[in-house]
Structure 1
Amino acid sequence: MGSEEPGRARGRVVMLVDNAVAGDSRVQKSAASAAAAGWEVFLLGASKDRKRHHWRHEGAEVRLLPKPSPLSVRRHLLRTPLVRRPLAYRDARIANYRTQWVRAWQAELRTRRAAVAADRREGREGPGLTLRHGWLYVPRLAAAATRRWVALRVRERTVLEGRRARMDGVLDRLAVVLWRTLLGRNAWRRLEPHLLDFELAFAKEIDLLRPDIIHAHDCRMLGVGARAAVRQRGAGRRVKLLWDAHEYVPGVRPHSARWQAGMCGYERAYAPYADAVATVSPTLARLLQVRHGLRELPEVLLNAPVGELTPDQREDPVPDLRELCGVGEDTPLLVYSGGMAPQRGITTVVDGLAGLPGVHAALVAPDPGARYVREIECRAADAGVGDRLHVVPYVPYWQVVPFLSRADVGVIPIHHWPNHELALITKFFEYAHARLPLVVSDVRTMAQTTRETGQGEVFQAEDTESYVRAVRAVLDVPGRYRAAYDEPGLLEQWTWEAQAQKLDRLYARLLTDEPEPLREGDENADLCGGAREDRAAAGRPVRGQGTSRDGRRRGRARGAAGQRRDGAVPR
């Protein structure tokens, strides 16, 4: 695994992803199709167990790299609570110790009182016994007072932990403003320093591979790819950076204001270094162009399923969804496939079962044992529908379509978040190729497409009654909705093979483009400043997007090439 010279393929592509590859169908399909087109592909991901792993995937070499995450520890968790909650215990272990110690003290006092009472019952009255009984009032009062004091400090500790987890307190908001003011686009180093853990884990491996193209999947890998490209150019090698934006970061449900400010700033700092940009929908492509002042509209690569399988893939038996759920052919079966999180609307599916007698629902989850999945199962049990909810694991991406086809309806109950409004998500295309009638929430792009094609019904997001009505309408006449897939060319345009051709052309264009000449002053680029601040034009926000909050001024849009300083060290 040492230094490796590029082979005689069309070029060496190093793909970067912030996960363990398995379960990320877009990344796997990109690697496989690029390898099939003659590119030498290395796919680098982050190992879950901090051990190095490698295997071959459809002609591409996958390497999972250990990624220790010491920078993921929030610094404020290590600080004294005196400013936020002065009465709170500074450490949860101390709180637990003091709580248990007071309980033990009171238990001991109860035993001593019982001993005095036993002596009295046995007739052992006397001055000594009376004194012993009277003296117990002092420690009992002290123990009761200590218990209340400890309970108060424990409550303060609980409140402190909640505030620290949400990071929505006054001090948190002031910290965001402070670091934005002091560091501008580089505030992410203080707000989300764990992003540097990816840099330290991936940098050496990328440098040893000496890529011709770095394909950075999503925001976290953008900075890693940008810095690697700078190092390669500094060593005299020509390399191109492709940023594949899977999501609209300002539109993702934020973990906190700190997270959103840090991630948005990180994306803005490194977007100018991309030689080309790809994304998942036309709407998101236009937003990215405006937000980052890109010269060209990003290439749209839909999250569509593969249409043709390899001989090895065809040999693998496909699990039977109905068999895994334990239901027969005559049982109406709904299916949801994808990530499990509150904003995905899974509770609507569970709550809707009460209004759909005899209907079962399957949740195809990446981790059936995850905490949120267990909470969903408990919710179903409490509602009396636990026997009609089935959680099953993911299957390989090439088996998803035939696996899902055993259901009767595909559901997409996601909530209104800007990122959800912008694209046709992966499961939309997978359901379509499985020829499933759809029931989708009224998020903009999917609702509009579903109404236009007639492939399903739309309901009001987070409205269980509306969802139940939509499911009933589809189950009453499923053939009407399946007929939409007979429209010539509809499914053909929604295949990964069509997207792979565009990706191949994009790779080829990157390597045939002439390198940009240095502009006056670039020889002395600010080695600490990195890319110049772009002046992205303000675009019309989508619903829920609101005003940009990444702490940057706006002005005339400029091209990415005009913002990047070749040879500068991005920060």
Structure 2
Amino acid sequence: MGTASRGRVVMLVQNGVEGDSRVQKQAASMAAAGWDVTLLGRSPNGEVQTWDLGGAEVRLIHVRRAFKRRRHELRSHWARDPLAYPFGPIQIYRERQLEAWRAEIGIRKARIAIDAKHQSGAVTRLRKAALVPRRAAVRAAGTWADVRSAHTERLCERREAMDGRVDAFAIKFWKTVLGDRSWRRLDPALWDLELSFGPVLDRLEADLIHANDFQMIGVGARSVIRRRARGARVKLVWDVHEYLPGIKSWIDHPAWKDAQMAHEREYAPWADAVVTVSDTLADLLMERHGLAERPEVVMNVPDLDSRPEADDPVPDIRELCGIGPSAPLMVYSGAPMARRGLMTMVEALPDLEGVHAAFVVAKPEWADIRSLVARSEELGVADRVHLLPYVPHWQIVPFLAGADIGVIPIHHYLNHEIALITKFFEYSHARLPILVSDVKTMAAKVNETGQGEVFRAKDTADFVRAAKLILADPESYRKRYDTHVPLTEWTWPSQAAILDRVYTEALR
């Protein structure tokens, strides 16, 4: 864009960009609006990757996970378990050493067997007897190594879980002593993001940094601090996708969530502007962080006009499932996690005769999806369960439109209660009747518009009831899109205009 650029923007996201429709739409639309946009993401395979996204440069960088282990996991083992091996390679070395000793004994036995053909029986017996102490010593060493290995594994598990009384005291101690700085002790892995993204971000010398979600706010804020100290005029926009106190921890560790919240609280005050995904979340952020101004709401709605001219044809969802136009098809599109309620869909199939279920997921190898497939086989409905790959975000609406029902079976978590999530808007633009669990915001919207039915979360029988209502007369629900659903408001250009205004005002 050269001299015509309205300013240099660097967007930060803690993922590989592909599959994250929000950041993709943001980057492309802001580039189209005249901003010089670079989107920094995290490489999934450790290799630096770059590509163009609607005029924005996407750059994935390698994040070294030096702090994957917390400091206490590397300490001496003596106080916790003197029988465990010390941290480091000695356990593996010892195991391989024992294998080598056993291999040596095997070779000696083989040589005795070969030489027995050419020597007296007495000599052979003596040589075999000479091996007995060696074999006994190796056997004893192996038994002792097994004991120490078992103790080591238990120690590692305890240290990783950090769920003992001493651990609870340590967590409380650091939270009390360090306050919002306690994340440095509780989850030093946040430094891995800083040490990988920070130098790249500083070199780009952005006029505006757009940090997506709670882990990248620190990376963006620290760059702002460094550059302002050198006299630069740089602004920080914080894009909050989720309400952190309401999420389920990504990592099964008692200190992880406390660390993320402390990190967020420390750096939230550095944001010059805050945007988020819903009015409810905007209100919660005002209260939680004492913001001077209410965050602007930029909903993650579909971009129906962004399809490239050279794009591939939109896949036929029914063809991918191997079914005809008359077979009832319900679809779920999104992350394949248990708390999203996907198992309810599978367990409903025995009572929904002839109905097929398509799961459009990016990670079909995840354990939760394998559990779905195994359960479908137990129930005898595996032939009606279909795993489909993601399509580009500009294809998702026409792709989903081939189904009969869009399903959102999520469980009751705070973040699920407060948002109209991305797939809600995608299903709506695909004009699908929506079958949603009774999470507060989406259930209220469906009841208001009449565009679908609500069932009790985790209640398979109630799911079946609601699905049958829709399948009995799907057109009556589709007609509500003509009269009761504000589809024109739920389009990306209107949201991109809000984000563009946020950028402009931040740089004044």
TM-score bucket of the superposed structures, by smaller chain: 0.7 to 0.9
Write out aligned runs for 1:60-99 (5 A). Answer: 60-84=56-80, 94=91
* Equivalent of residue 291 in structure 1, options 288, 291, 305: 288
For 2:248, the equivalent position in structure 1 comes to: 253
* Equivalent of residue 324 in structure 1, options 303, 317, 320: 320
For 1:266, the equivalent position in structure 2 comes to: 263
User: In the alignment, residue 503 of structure 2 is paired with which amino acid?
Assistant: Y
After superposing the two structures, state which structure 1 stretch, 227-236 or 317-326, moved more. 227-236
Change (3 A) 1:95 1:88: farther
- 1:38-83: CA deviation from partner (whole Å, max 9, x where unpaired): 1111111111222222111111111112221211233333344555
Distance (whole Å) between structure 2 residues aligned to residue 37 and residue 11 of structure 1: 11
Change (3 A) 1:79 1:386: farther
Q: Structure 1 unaligned segments of length 5 or more: list them.
A: 113-128, 513-571
After superposing the two structures, state which structure 1 stretch, 300-309 or 369-378, moved more. 369-378
- 8 Å contact kept, 1:89–1:95: no
For 1:119, the equivalent position in structure 2 comes to: none
Confirm or deny that 1:8 pairs with 2:4.
yes
For 2:121, the equivalent position in structure 1 comes to: none
After superposing the two structures, state which structure 1 stretch, 11-20 or 367-376, moved more. 367-376
For 2:51, the equivalent position in structure 1 comes to: 55
User: Greater RCO between the two (CA within 8 Å, min separation 6)?
Assistant: 1
* Equivalent of residue 278 in structure 2, options 254, 260, 281: 281
User: In the alignment, residue 13 of structure 2 is paired with which amino acid?
Assistant: V
For 1:353, the equivalent position in structure 2 comes to: 349
CA RMSD in angstroms, aligned pairs only: 3.5
Q: TM-score, normalised by structure 1?
A: 0.77
Q: CA deviation at 1:172?
A: 2.9
Q: Structure 2 unaligned segments of length 5 or more: list them.
A: 110-124
* Equivalent of residue 229 in structure 1, options 224, 228, 249: 224
For 1:21, the equivalent position in structure 2 comes to: 17
Q: 2:479 is paired with a residue of what secondary structure?
A: helix
Distance (whole Å) between structure 2 residues aligned to residue 321 and residue 417 of structure 1: 30
Change (3 A) 1:266 1:154: same
For 1:238, the equivalent position in structure 2 comes to: 233
- 8 Å contact kept, 2:209–2:236: yes
Distance (whole Å) between structure 1 residues aligned to residue 72 and residue 16 of structure 2: 29
Q: CA deviation at 1:231?
A: 2.2
For 1:213, the equivalent position in structure 2 comes to: 208
- 1:534-571: CA deviation from partner (whole Å, max 9, x where unpaired): xxxxxxxxxxxxxxxxxxxxxxxxxxxxxxxxxxxxxx
Q: CA deviation at 1:101?
A: 6.8
For 1:562, the equivalent position in structure 2 comes to: none
Distance (whole Å) between structure 2 residues aligned to residue 348 and residue 95 of structure 1: 44
- 8 Å contact kept, 1:15–1:217: yes
The count of aligned residue pairs is 494
- 1:442-470: CA deviation from partner (whole Å, max 9, x where unpaired): 11111111111111111221222222222
Confirm or deny that 1:181 pairs with 2:163.
no
Change (3 A) 1:156 1:331: farther
For 2:305, the equivalent position in structure 1 comes to: 308
Q: CA deviation at 1:163?
A: 3.7
Distance (whole Å) between structure 1 residues aligned to residue 34 and residue 364 of structure 2: 37
Q: CA deviation at 1:209?
A: 2.0
Distance (whole Å) between structure 2 residues aligned to residue 359 and residue 152 of structure 1: 54
For 1:461, the equivalent position in structure 2 comes to: 457
Distance (whole Å) between structure 1 residues aligned to residue 294 and residue 285 of structure 2: 8
Distance (whole Å) between structure 2 residues aligned to residue 27 and residue 452 of structure 1: 30
User: In the alignment, residue 300 of structure 1 is paired with which amino acid?
Assistant: V
- 1:244-298: CA deviation from partner (whole Å, max 9, x where unpaired): 0011111110233211110000000000000000001111111111111100110
User: In the alignment, residue 296 of structure 1 is paired with which amino acid?
Assistant: E
Percent identity over paired residues: 51
For 1:411, the equivalent position in structure 2 comes to: 407
For 1:40, the equivalent position in structure 2 comes to: 36
Change (3 A) 1:438 1:190: same
After superposing the two structures, state which structure 1 stretch, 490-499 or 43-52, moved more. 43-52
User: In the alignment, residue 30 of structure 2 is paired with which amino acid?
Assistant: A
- 8 Å contact kept, 1:37–1:504: yes
Q: CA deviation at 1:180?
A: 1.0
Q: CA deviation at 1:370?
A: 3.0
For 2:489, the equivalent position in structure 1 comes to: 493
Change (3 A) 1:378 1:39: same
- 8 Å contact kept, 1:222–1:271: yes
Q: CA deviation at 1:87?
A: 5.3
User: In the alignment, residue 322 of structure 1 is paired with which amino acid?
Assistant: R
After superposing the two structures, state which structure 1 stretch, 169-178 or 427-436, moved more. 169-178
Q: TM-score, normalised by structure 2?
A: 0.86
Change (3 A) 1:145 1:284: same
Q: CA deviation at 1:174?
A: 2.0
User: In the alignment, residue 471 of structure 1 is paired with which amino acid?
Assistant: A
- 1:518-548: CA deviation from partner (whole Å, max 9, x where unpaired): xxxxxxxxxxxxxxxxxxxxxxxxxxxxxxx
For 1:373, the equivalent position in structure 2 comes to: 369
- 8 Å contact kept, 1:366–1:393: yes
